[in-house]
Amino acid sequence: MTCPRCTAGLPAVAHFCQACGLDLRSGDGSRRRSFAVKPDEPVTSFALISTIMPRGAGQHPQTYRIALTIGLVVALIAAIFGALPIALLVAAFTVPLVYIVYLYDVNLWDDQPVKVTAAAFALTGLLAALFTWGWLQVVPPAGLVGGPQPVTLLIVGVAVPIVAHVLIQLGPVYLASRPRFDDLMDGLTFGIVSGVAYSTFDTLVRHGAALFGGFVADSDPGTWVALVFLEGMVKPLLYGTAAGIAAAEFSGLGRGYDGFTGRYARGLAEAIFATIVYQSGAYLLSYLPGFQGVALTLLLGLAILAVLILRVRVVLHTALIEAALESAARGDAAIGADGSLAFCTSCEMPLLAGAAFCNACGTAQRTRPRPSGVGRPVEAPRTAAEPVPVTSGSPGPVTRENPIGPATTNEGDQS
């Protein structure tokens, strides 16, 4: 039995092609009803964990989901009872702490925790705190003026998002240009954690007065609950997914990172535009009374976040399909190349040697956690007549055409 698209040899009971991911029962090459990271979900869905934590989605996604829920519930309860410092601290650090645990679980920092964490989180957080403090010295609080000011709107709604994303991209661009981290999912993840870091420290600086204000007995619980949910969940995920799209496009498709290409410029423009819409809307809505303004800002943030999640899923899904086709064309083989038997992290069925997808459930095996101490994948042995492909450790960007569509990826790391 052979695959009708890539002609790979298949087991008679295969549901998906292990080389290109084709759904053999439906013949759907795009697999829009079967997300490559988690095949029991459609591509166009709002499943958060499989979108922002693709390497851990097949093992214990419920752990991350429960951790996020617990952190948010604790923050909301603290806000209801007026313990605003506790509410803000828990809300600000829930998403980044869970995400750092995710990085540790899947060994994404490749046994270099200090260096990678500093570049992806601490550096962005420090720059965010300094930048936010600086522009707050220039822009007057909304309550001190009679209504929205055009100059302030341009600063808060346009200039701040542009500079913010320049700062956010510093860490991910540096990491994605390293040979061990030039995979699209690595770029996406570093972009997300950097965006989350910016949002966290921006929140801490902007709400510094409430953070050190102690227990507030006469606070409006409804307003603070909405604010905690906005600042603790929606805003960091909005900044993170927006930055992740740009960083993923920097990594690009195939071996080596693509660098500062037109696709990266488009991804960065998308991230900046989404943040401009959010920041401008939040500034204008801040002039509405208490709960009304915060609630409408929350709805605006949720709408933008929903669009960004769908965009990330399409980019990631298309990238995994395309990268599998490229890997098959090159003859690469990472799974079982050393003769060992490997199993799918989602359904635990055995994998064929060199499998890019599980034959049984269709999960992309590039979502497997990185083994400890392992960087580049092991390739299948080549004969003397076979050409040796160019490695991904080249010092500069690699530019290539995308044969399928604009959503491109770099899947040099097949761990």
SS3 category, 350: strand
Question: Are 225 and 277 spatial neighbours (Cβ–Cβ below 8 Å)?
Answer: no
User: Could you tell me how many helices (H) and strands (E) the chain has, helices first?
Assistant: 13, 0
With 70 as the cut, is the pLDDT of residue 1 above it?
Answer: yes
- pLDDT band at 65; cut points 50, 70, 90: confident
Q: How far is CA 305 from CA 47, 294, 325, in A?
A: 12, 16, 30
Enter the pTM of the model: 0.79
369-374-380-381 Cα dihedral, nearest 10 degrees = -170
Rounded to 5°, the CA angle 296-93-285 comes to 15
Name the token pair of 307.
């669009």
Q: Which amino acid is present at 260?
A: F
Judged by average pLDDT, the poorest of 268-272, 367-371, 384-388 is: 384-388
Detail the DSSP E strand segments found in 191-348: none
Q: What is the pLDDT of residue 272?
A: 97
CA pair distance 351, 399, nearest whole angstrom: 32
**Residue 343 above 90 pLDDT?**
no
pLDDT computed for residue 378 by the predictor: 37
pLDDT digits (tens, 9 = 90+) for 243-259: 999 998 888 766 677 88
Phi-psi region of 217 (alpha: psi -120 to 50; beta: other; left: phi over 0): alpha
Phi-psi group of 55: left, alpha or beta (phi > 0 → left; psi -120 to 50 → alpha; rest → beta):
alpha
pLDDT tens by residue, 76-130: 888 888 788 888 888 888 888 888 888 777 766 656 666 677 767 888 999 999 9
56-60, 165-169, 405-409 — most confident range: 165-169
Nearest to 3 by CA among 362, 334, 404: 362
The answer to whether residue 385 scores a pLDDT higher than 50 is no
Give me the amino acid identity at 104: Y
Identify whether the C-beta of residue 344 lies closer than 8 Å to the C-beta of residue 276. Answer: no
Tokens (6 digits) for 295: 């609630």
| Residue 61: per-residue pLDDT | 72
Q: State mean pLDDT over 131-160.
A: 84
Residue-wise pLDDT tens digits, 285-305: 988 887 898 999 999 999 999
Average pLDDT over every residue of 307-315: 92
235: CB partners within 8 A, 6+ apart:
199, 203, 278, 301
| Alpha-carbon gap, residue 98 to 63, rounded angstroms | 10
CB 22 within 8 A of CB 5: yes
